[in-house]
Each structure stands twice: as structure tokens, then as C-alpha cells.
Chain A
Amino acid sequence: MSRLDAWAKASGEARYVADMVLPGMLHVALVRSAVQHGRVRRVDSEQARAVEGVVGVFTADDVNRNTYGRSVRDIPILAGEKVRFVGERVAVVVAESRRAAEAAAALVEVEYDDLPAVTSAEEAIAQGAPLVHDAPWEYAGAAISQEDGHNLQSRVTEGSLTEVEAALGGAEHVVDRTYSTSSGHQGYLEPQACVASVEDGRVRLWVTNKSPYRLRTQLADCLGLDPASIEIEPVLLGGDFGGKGSPMDAPLCVELSRLVGRPVKLVLRYVEDLTATNPRHPARIHVRVGCDREGRLTGMALRALLNGGAYGGFKPLADVNLHGIEDCAMAYRVPALFVESTIAYTNTVPRGHMRSPGAPQAIFAVESALDELAAEAGLDPVDLRRRNLPRTGEPSSHGTTWLEARGLETLEAAVKHARTEQPEVPPGWRHGEGVAVYVRGLPGPPVTSVRLVPAPEGRVRVEVPIPETGTGSHTMVRNRLAAELGIDPEQVEVVQVSTEELPIDPGVGGSRVTVGMSEALGRAAEAWRRGGGDEPVAVELRPGDSAASAPVVCYCAQVAQVAVDPVTGQVKVLEVLSSVDVGDIINPAAHQMQIDGGAVMGYGFACLEDLFEEDGQFWAANLGEFKIPSTNDLPRLRTVLVEGGQGVTSANVKPVGELANVPTAAAIANAVAAATGCRIRDLPITSEKVFWAIEEESAR
């Protein structure tokens, strides 16, 4: 059964936001800050205004001065008195064509008085550091108070450090290591784009955003509008990976359309996507972990310091933090655990969510540290993990007892299958195998809405609130409803409707779509059958309507095989085998692609991706220099599905979208260490780093 959208996408009929044309539509180009931190002394737009086709040049004085954000509302629509990062929106040109708008934007002259800047999280939290925001605790939704310290977006702690100190004091073996990860980007191929039309007080938007109902609220909060006056239209997204959950330029485009009285369109240039949107947080993570003589973990303290950039408003959680850091030790029994995650304001691009936010960074650190601990204790790394994975019925390190704990089975399956076929290693190269484990919990209780409508010829039309981001979610909806109703999937039509049509949805993200939709479709199908299928059926799941989800988790264990050239340090990742704990699978092809695409993204994070951040700027500002994996980089991928798991909803599902991209970096780092005896603690693992590590090792 093929994808619903496969033909449209293979034939060129699919339409994205950048393809939209409205009558009378104007084009927008941005003028971005050239300095990290500065007072805007003067904006001279005289030359820009003279460009043929220019309708207007606007600054912060012309637009709403309220700030916006997904949780903390600290992002200005246009920078006012001061700019806080290279790339921040300072002024904007609206013109009859994109070319005129861009030409004019290049002619806008902005003068700044430079201010001292902080470009790393370490600098930002140091005593006496320059302030990025004078009083960040005053923003609506702020997660910190004045007493917490300066330049903080968020600080979350969990567990007792005193208990961990006591546990580590009595441990037989302890390792104390620091790991770091680079600035990366979601790497969706479709640039961020927005078309806005304000007419007679009615706002209509087509925007590369995956959470339209939240966007409506965020816009209303910022612009002081009635949410009912804002309509977010259905769109198709050209990839997301966490990058398309924020309002981004939508508040600005609404303001511009209001100012010029015509629809406006902004499509970013990809360099803007890479350098000025909401890329991944770089992290420095300090891990201390200890075990007893038998290799049982006794305690772990993990302290993460992340660069959050100039604004916190691109993160959606109320604590303005990343849950992947908080959940870093969830896969194991850790009797004494302390986790601290600090996110600092800096004068760099604001950071946002990327596929399992925080987890790739934290799991790289934890799973690398476990291998280092195993080495210290003289244990096999797989054995160390076997001894510490909780069994069904035992509480996890975070205190929850899950319905089932299938970490051990998942790990054993990974190791068994990985070792049945040894990869071919080039002569003279060294081979290494590395293992890493990740576990992910379920999203909270489902919140969403759907409507079933009778369609001609006995068909059923399902109206959904979520855009198709590329995962195949609409196909999953079709297949699931067909199964619930016992009809041919061809009889089901799936359409995303505008925010006028349905009441509620939190958007795509947090691995929640299949779970939430399955629950809603199960209920809708039941009502549909009861009503005989003649009348529309609407289902609305509000917070509190459903019991908390069963404590279900899904494990993923990966085994990486690498070959390292000891002369040059070149690393070839020969294979990544993913073992995945699953319930039932609605669409096997789409499910498999989440694993394949995830493992390849994990490989990119491990070995290639780096925006080369220096002094608050990214030097890899195009897809030639910011290297995401291409066909020629691919390791061989293998998958083992550990079937028979207990999932949730009548579809018995477990999430898969944010799983296989997480453990890959540690599995590869562990394999490189096994091959060379050299431990790379700083991602990405480049040939240069491995070369120098080997040199250092042999000099010793």
C-alpha cells in the first residue's frame, strides 16, 4: 500500500509554501545584524527606498514591540534598540519582487555601537560577563528568576548531588569525563517560508510550521489579536526534524501585511536557515559515573551546559530546557542520580529543537562514559550494560516502573545480529565495534482532534489538524482508520484542514502523532459505527480527557562497526545495526524509514555535521560546508525489530521517530575507541581528531 502523497510528490504536483502566489502579493527580504551585540545607532534606508519596486522599508519602530515565543516570550519581531546576534532581523524591505526586495535590503545601512559580547555558554555564565538581556526573568513565561544567576534561559536539576557524592565515594570504579558536541542544524531541505494576508482584520497564513494551533495562540499573544481572527491554512512541509515548530517570521509577516495592505511572502535563503533560524544546541557535558566490583552502577552525576543563543523562545517546554538531557540515564538502574541542565543566553543564533532535543548530546556523553567505565573496571562494555538494564517490574532510575522493560532483549538482539556477519575491513585498517543504548518514554496523554465526514461513493473523509511533514502521518491516518472501520484504505481520504475547522492540537512533535491520532481515530471509528456512518463525527481530546498514558517506553540499541586507517585517522563507518523495541506497526515502510533516516542522521551528527561556530558566527554557512550525509557517505544499515512489545492505544503502538538518531554517535565513538584505543570526546569525530589522538597515544 503506497503513500497517499507519493504520486503528487513524484510528479511535481506537490505544492509547498514557497510555491504560493496570492493576488497582489509582495515580497519580503530581511536586513540582518552584522554584529554580535550592539546598539542600533541609525538605520539609513534612503537608498533602499529608491530601488524600483520597493513598497516600504520598516524597522522596529513600525511594528508591534511585544515579544513572542513558544514558551518564554523573549523574541522581538524586529530588533529595536539593540541586536543580540549576527543574523538578527534589524530591518525589512517589502517590494514588488523578491529581487527588488533583496537588492534594496543590501542597500540598507545600519550603524551600530558595539557592545561586549558573550559567544559561548561558559563565558556567558562567568562572573561579570556582559548581559545579553538586562532582565530576562521579566519576560512572560520566563523559567528563571533573578536569583538564579545571569544570562540564564533555564536551569533544571534532578536528584540529590549529596547522595551521588556518597555513592561515588563508595564506588569501586569511577570515571570523570567531559564530552562536547558541535552546533548542528536540522537540515530540512525546504527553507522556512511564510505567506501572510491581513484583510479587514482577518489574518490568513501559510507558513512552514508544524503546530498550527499553537502558532495561532502564539501570534494572538504577541500581537494582541483575537485567536478567532487568525486562520492558519493547511500546508505541506518539506522536512522538519524539529526546526519548524516556532513562529519564526510569521509575526513579522503579519505585521508587514497589515502595514502595506497587501499579502506578503517571505522565503528564506538557505544561508539564513543555517545561520539565523533555530539550530541545535551545542553542549558541554560533564559526567561522573561509578560502579561496584560487579559492574553495577552506584551513582551518576551529569552536568550539561548548553549554548541557548540570544533567545529562549524557540524552545516549547515550560522549563525552557531539553527533556533529552533530563532523561539521560533513563535506560539504566542508577541508584543515585543527579542531573543538572543549564542553558545560557549568548550573543549567538537562538537554538531550538532538533529530533529528540537534548538526547543526542546527552546520550553521546552517557554511553561514551559507560564504555570508559567498563574499560576502567575491566569489563566488556556489553556486559556492563547487561548488568544495569532494568528488568520488567523494576523501577527505572527516574523512579517509574514501566509496563515492560525490554532493554536487555533489545541489546541482546543487537549484539547477536551484529556479530553474525563481520564487515569487510580494508587491509591495514583497524576494526572496532561499539554499542550504545537509548530509551524513550511516551508523550503525555493524547491531545488532538479529528473529524470524520461521509464522502461520495461510500468513502470517508478524515479531517486532521496536522500538516504532513514528510513522515507519512497522513498515510498512517488512512491505514489506521481503514483498519478500525474494516474498510479498504482506498475508501479513506485524509485532509489537513485550517485552524478554523478543528478545535485543538499541539502539533507534530515529541513523537506524539501516531499515538495521539491512533487514540482519536479509535474513538472516532467507534462513534462512526454507532451512528451508522451517515453523519459527521467529531472527536476532541483535551488535556485531562484521557488517563495518563501507560508507562510505556521503547528501547533502541545500536551496534556500529568502524574501520580506522591508523596512518591518516580516516574513519569509515561500515555498518550501523539498529535494534528497536516495537509494538504493532501500522505502516512498515514508513516505520522503517524513521529508523533508516534516523540512523543516517545519527551518523551525520557523529562524523560530519558542524556549523563551525567561531566568535558567534557559523563559517559553514551552506550545504557544501555544513555536511549532511550523502549517498556516498552511507554506512550499511541493518535493522532488527524486537517484536511483541506492549504499546499504547487500540493500535498497540510505540513511538519510533526520535529513536534511531540518538545512540549512533556514542556507538561510533565507542567503536573508534575499540579500534584505536583513542577516545574522541568531542563531536564530530573527524579524521583530524582521530589522527592527532593516535599520534598522541603513540607518543605516550
Chain B
Amino acid sequence: MPRISVKVDGVTYDDDVEPRLLLVHYLRDWLGKVGTPIGCDTTNCGACTVLMDGSSVKSCSVLAVQADGSEVTTIEGLAADGQMHPMQKSFHEEHALQCGYCTPGMILAATDLLRDNPNPSDDEIRDGLEGNLCRCTGYQNIVRAVRRAAAEMTESAAATDPKEARV
């Protein structure tokens, strides 16, 4: 069995895994990271989305061996030093969740979206989250939450940007 070394939520794990083991099962069954749920099993719903080296992936369509050598962030590792990530905070404050099953994937997909486009329009947010399904909310507050997080993250980036500080 191949040996993999993966850093998940800041901790490095070395494990011998079957080549066919899916990343989502590795996270849930081996590491106990059950904050990452499984919805559709077929890569359509996006509930199991995690970040792999910063990019969002549906962990049901990635093999654990493909994650070898990479850094994975699940919803459980997104908050830094007990501080909610701005995206988590926005979902919280904008009521952007109901049953919560899509929420981890939605938050992580939205985080990746802002990495590529820090200031997206509503259309760009909708386009970027197309692969994450939510049956409860009607998506209105989710789009609002991403917009709010974008504004907050841009603001705080500006505040800490040394070039900006010199002005």
C-alpha cells in the first residue's frame, strides 16, 4: 500500500492507504474529520469541498494518494487561533445557512473564489459557487455573505498592506 504524507489542518499525517481510498473517506474515517460531510457521492453537491494547497476540491473526487505531499484545509481547520475566518463570520452574520449540511463546502468554495477574485460581482459569486448545492436557503444570503466577506477581507488586507500604510 502506498504511503502518503498529508498535512491536514496544520497537522502532518503519514499513513499507508489503499490506492482507491477517497480523500473524503481518509478525512472522515481515518482522521475523524467528520466536519466534512458526504452528500451526493457523485461530485455534484459540493458538500465535501475542502482546500488542497489553497484550491477548492470536492474531496469525494480526489484520491487520498493524490493528496500526498499537499496541505489540506477542512472546515475544522479554517479558523486560525480560535478566530473565525471572515467567511465563517459572514455566513454566521448573514444567516447564510439553514440545515448546515452544505455549509462547510460552501464556505471553503467561497474562500477559494475570493482567492482568485478578491472583489467579485454577484454574478461572479453565483458563477463561482455553481458547483455547491444548497436546498434550504435559496442562496440569497449565501451570495450576500460572500460579498460581505470579500469587503472585509479587502479592507483588512488594505490595512495591513505596507504600501498602503506608507501613503
Instruction: Give A contacts to B, CB under 8 Å.
Output: 2-3, 5-16, 18-19, 186-191, 236-241, 269-271, 469-472, 589-590, 592-593, 595-601, 622-624, 628, 630-632, 634, 637
Contact = CB atoms under 8 A, between A and B. Distances in A.
Interface stretch (B62-70, B129-137, B159-167): B129-137
Nearest to B100: A9
A12 B75 contact: yes
Nearest to B135: A187
A630 B130 contact: yes
Interface string B92-118: 110101111111100100000000000
Contacts of A186: 135
B34 A19 contact: yes
Contacts of B42: 270-271, 622-624
Interface in B16-46: 28, 33-45
B45 to A, nearest CB: 5
B101 A238 contact: yes
Nearest to A241: B135
A190 B101 CA distance: 7
Interface of B: 28, 33-45, 47, 74-76, 78-79, 84, 88-89, 91-93, 95, 97-104, 107, 125-127, 129-143
27 contacts: A8-B100, A9-B100, A11-B84, A12-B74, A13-B76, A187-B135, A189-B47, A191-B39, A236-B99, A236-B100, A237-B99, A238-B100, A239-B99, A239-B135, A270-B40, A270-B45, A470-B100, A470-B101, A593-B138, A596-B139, A597-B98, A600-B139, A622-B44, A624-B42, A631-B130, A631-B139, A632-B126
Contacts of A634: 126, 138-139
A634 B127 CA distance: 11
B76 A589 contact: no
A600 B43 CA distance: 22
A595 B102 CA distance: 19
Main secondary structure of the interface of A (DSSP, over half): loop
A238 B40 CA distance: 13
Given A191-B39, A270-B39, A597 B137 contact: yes
A598 B132 CA distance: 18
B21 to A, nearest CB: 9
B111 to A, nearest CB: 12
Most A-side CB within 10 Å, residue of B28, B95, B104, B138:
B138
Contacts of A7: 84, 92
Contacts of A237: 99
Q: Which 3 A-B pairs have the closest CB atoms?
A: A12-B35, A470-B99, A596-B138
A186 B135 CA distance: 9
A6 B101 contact: no
A471 B98 contact: yes
Most A-side CB within 10 Å, residue of B39, B43, B132:
B39
A10 B75 CA distance: 8
Given A189-B47, A189-B102, A593-B98, A12 B141 contact: no
